[in-house]
Amino acid sequence: MAAPLTVDELIDRLRRSKLVPVDKLEGFLAGLSSAGNPPADVPDLLARLVAAGMITRFHADRLAAGKYKGFVLGSYLILDQIGSGGMGQVYLAEHAAMRRLVALKVLPVTATETAEDGVARERFLREARVAATLDHPNIVRVFDLCHEGRLMYLVMEYVEGISFQALVARAGPLPVAAAVQYVRQVAFGLGHAHELGFVHRDVKPANLLLDRTGVVKILDLGLVRSEADAGAGLTKQLDHKGVLGTADYVAPEQAMDSSNVDPRADVYSLGATFYFLLTGRPLFPDGRTAQKLVWQQIKDPVPVARLRPDIPPGLAAVVHTMLQKKPADRLQSALEVFEALEPWAHDAVPPPDEALMPNPPTRSAAGRLGPSAPARATNATSQLLTAAMRSGSGVGGPSSAGGTPGSGSLAGGPRSGLSAAGASSGKVVKKPRVPPVPRTPTPDTGAVGVEETQRTPDPKPAPTARLKGPRKPAPVPEPDDAPDPAAPFAWRRLAVLAGLLVAAGMAFGGLLLLLLRGR
């Protein structure tokens, strides 16, 4: 349909779109007329509707182009487009009745009408199944898989934050303490996925979201490999003997055979991501995709310490070990990465700068919070995550809420990476095997959301709590005039002795009375 040329045409399209209830729209227009300030033209009316929170800029752009359909998908009102990729479009949406914000990942209709429709559909279904299996505070949750006509879409957790790719592009390389804390969170989430038999195969800055409280979320499970499917050959069928992953972050063995990799491939990709966070550049910033894939096999990147002289030698050794070409020479699990970074995880890291977080659409902020809604507790999510990481829950078991402890428990697993001695010397030192420690259930973080344009106008959060957890408080000394703790026990012994004497006297008196009656 042609773009509206007059205000009346725009109002007609707006009514037909059902974006705004009719009575609310009529009241808004009547208020403008009674104030003697009617809209001058189509852009003026659209700007006023956006400013009033009645529609979003996403709606305004499409209404201006003459489109008034496609704003509703099932029970959800689409508010904005927040991402796109080979596996579909991602939209910010609001449940019509519950007013809950979610992210909708929609599989393109064309993906079901081509020769590759079976692959695209199966990958989409696999992502849904894997996400349903995983339950971890550092992994984006999927709530539902829905169909609407020919469309298939996932209802996902909505994360208000920014991807590491965008964060580094805007702010440059991260402080060492912040990069360590964030990578440990990713390792914490990947450890949970690995223990359940899943390899992500696409760990990269663009697939890691940092929310306003400092919590990192892993997303995009479309390329995940499942150990359960290895016997059936499903992974090989879906991979079509191609290279899966991103050239800047793909592991050398994954570039050779994407269908036959283990968690150590994710360790390499996480190491390449760590390198990017610390230096602001990928391992090989120049060259085409084919060249980068070859360099991942034979070429070493510029040492991270040369680009960041402030990095401690021990930490540079961790990055170097994660990026070894041979899987056997790397840290062997995400758990090892988590523990290897522990010596540098003691400094408190504040939440990301609010100026780096894009503002939310007016309608999404107003619809959820309202003008008088109380502010959310600052940094509450980070504190809950800190407790989960300290207890080791969310990694060793079928779920992060009370699962059976596994060998990969963060409280003590089969591998532990670098020791404190290795941190100071720059050498990799393996700790002895220790038995796993039973875990406590992971608390629900209560996070809402996916993608870098997902955000909320919350007040400035408090500094992020340490991932290692607070130290135990020192014992409180007792005052000099405190009562003797043994005194109550002495009085108790006297009372018991007196009771025994009374009982003995009564028994003797009764016996004497019986003898007298017998005479």
Residue pair 192/139 in contact (Cβ under 8 Å)? The answer is yes
Q: What are phi and psi of 271, to 5 degrees?
A: -65, -40
Cα distances (angstroms) measured from residue 316 to each of 156, 333, 434: 36, 18, 26
Residue pair 66/4 in contact (Cβ under 8 Å)? The answer is yes
Catalytic pick from 41, 44, 80, 202? Answer: 202
53: left (phi over 0), alpha (psi -120 to 50) or beta: left
Cα angle: 187, vertex 192, 196; to 5 degrees: 140
DSSP 139: B
Residue pair 49/42 in contact (Cβ under 8 Å)? The answer is no
Burial (Cβ within 10 Å: 0-12, 13-18, ≥19) of residue 56 = buried
What does the DSSP assignment read for 115-134? TTHHHHHHHHHHHHHHHHH-
The rounded distance, in Å, linking the Cα atoms of 46 and 28 is: 12
The 10 Å Cβ neighbour count of residue 476 is 6
The rounded distance, in Å, linking the Cα atoms of 76 and 83 is: 17
The 10 Å Cβ neighbour count of residue 497 is 10
For residue 168, the one-letter residue type is: V
Residue pair 93/104 in contact (Cβ under 8 Å)? The answer is yes
Q: Is 202 a catalytic residue?
A: yes
Which of 416, 412, 269 lies closest to 339 in space, CA to CA? 416
**3-state class (DSSP) for residue 254:** helix
The 10 Å Cβ neighbour count of residue 12 is 13
Residue pair 352/461 in contact (Cβ under 8 Å)? The answer is no
The 10 Å Cβ neighbour count of residue 467 is 25
Which of 245, 257, 223 lies closest to 124 in space, CA to CA? 223
Q: Which residues are catalytic?
A: 202
